[in-house]
Amino acid sequence: MRVGLVCPYSLSLPGGVQGQVLGLARALRELGHEARVLGPCDGPPPEVGVTPLGNTVAALFNGSVAPLAPDFPCVLRTIRAVRDERFDILHLHEPMAPGPTLTTLVMSSGPLLGTFHAAGASVAYRRLRPLGTRLNARLHLRCAVSEDARDMASTLGGEFELVYNGIDLPRFAKATPWPTEAPTVVFVSRHETRKGLGVLIAALAHLPRDVRVWVASDGPETRRLQAEAAGDPRVEWLGRLSEEEKAQRLRGADVLCAPSLRGESFGMVLLEGMAAQTPIVASDLPGYRNVARHGQEALLVPPGDAAALGRALTRVIREPATAATLVAGGEVRAESFAMDRLAERYVPLYEKAIARARAAP
């Protein structure tokens, strides 16, 4: 089967959707299928099997700043790539996102499967519901990565298959741990309000003085949060990391902190920590409860509670038995979300979408 996976976000930048698209393409190839990724790239394609569709701009989408390519040249490149590649099935990730996925949804006459990732409330979905409903009806099969994502997408109508995200286990499990000189907490999400980095900065007052904090990535709140933490030598601002270094940092850290406040449809970052055999402290959100249970795979704390976050992080660092329990539970949990299993789940869904397309008038 020849599968085209279309991503709306820059494949040159780290991100949950981008990682899913690239990882799924690799897993499909391992199963013997031809899989090609179409998406914008700010620079060279990150790996083989990628067709770059142009550069991106930072745009507000689903409550977050996303690297999208809604410009006309990208539209033309998308149409040309879809026409020339002659895919058996086109798999659109975030079908309603401006850029390549929306262009493919509007212009393609072939079989279309859409996967919806975002969760929460969408102003665009609400305001453009009549148009979105008509576009959504063009999909021959619809999937959602979590119950929250399904609830949001279902406002456009139709039925949805629940297909959880997958993770490339060996990439994290076999990474060389980054060396540390003290107990270390790592944060690897974008610096925006909903990701809760400000709560971690506030939690510094509740952490032991010998603990170090690695802050990866960047975002619109980086400078403000750096100012809030100014003068605290425990914090190291790493900036954007390569996927290889991110895996090494996760492996080397004593605990992964995921203090998001809202808008998490699926705990991908938690699975990465589990695969890296790192204990996790995270906010008690529905999206995170998709993959982690309190006391078994993670310690879950009330969102926005800096004191509770600090106590949980300290507990993991100071109690080896607690850390070991979380690591053991996390390894088992991550195995059930292996990327090769996700690819095996999607293949019959592709076949179902193709059959529906053929039967459609």
Do 17 and 153 reside in the same domain of the chain? yes
Give which of 281, 352, 272 is closest to 310, Cα–Cα: 281
- Please, how many CA atoms are within 13 Å of residue 198, restricted to the half-sphere of its CB? 12
pLDDT at 63 over 70: no
pLDDT at 69 over 70: yes
Give which of 96, 123, 277, 287 is closest to 189, Cα–Cα: 287
Do 304 and 345 reside in the same domain of the chain? no
Do 240 and 307 reside in the same domain of the chain? yes
Do 182 and 269 reside in the same domain of the chain? yes
Mean pLDDT of 173-180: 97
Backbone torsion region of residue 43, taken as left when φ is above 0, otherwise alpha when ψ lies between -120 and 50, otherwise beta = left
pLDDT at 62 over 60: no
Mean pLDDT of 183-195: 95
Do 234 and 265 reside in the same domain of the chain? yes
**CATH number for the domain that contains residue 216:** 3.40.50.2000
pTM of the full predicted structure?
Answer: 0.83
| Tens-digit pLDDT profile for residues 323-345 | 999 999 999 999 999 999 999 99
Q: Within a 10 A sphere around the Cβ of 345, how many other Cβ atoms?
A: 14
pLDDT at 123 over 90: no
Do 103 and 87 reside in the same domain of the chain? yes
Three-state DSSP class for 220?
Answer: coil
Do 113 and 231 reside in the same domain of the chain? no
Do 42 and 148 reside in the same domain of the chain? yes
Count of domains for the chain? 2
Do 148 and 176 reside in the same domain of the chain? no
pLDDT at 54 over 70: yes
Q: What is the span of the domain harbouring residue 16?
A: 2-166+338-359
| Tens-digit pLDDT profile for residues 150-159 | 999 998 999 9
Do 136 and 192 reside in the same domain of the chain? no
Do 60 and 46 reside in the same domain of the chain? yes
Instruction: Report the C-alpha gap between 53 and 128 in whole angstroms.
Output: 26
Instruction: Quickly count helices (H) and strands (E) in the chain.
Output: 15, 15
DSSP 97-146: STTHHHHHHHH--S-EEEEE---S--HHHHHTHHHHHHHHTT-SEEEESS
Dihedral sign from CA coordinates of 17, 19, 25, 28? negative
Residue-averaged pLDDT of the chain: 93
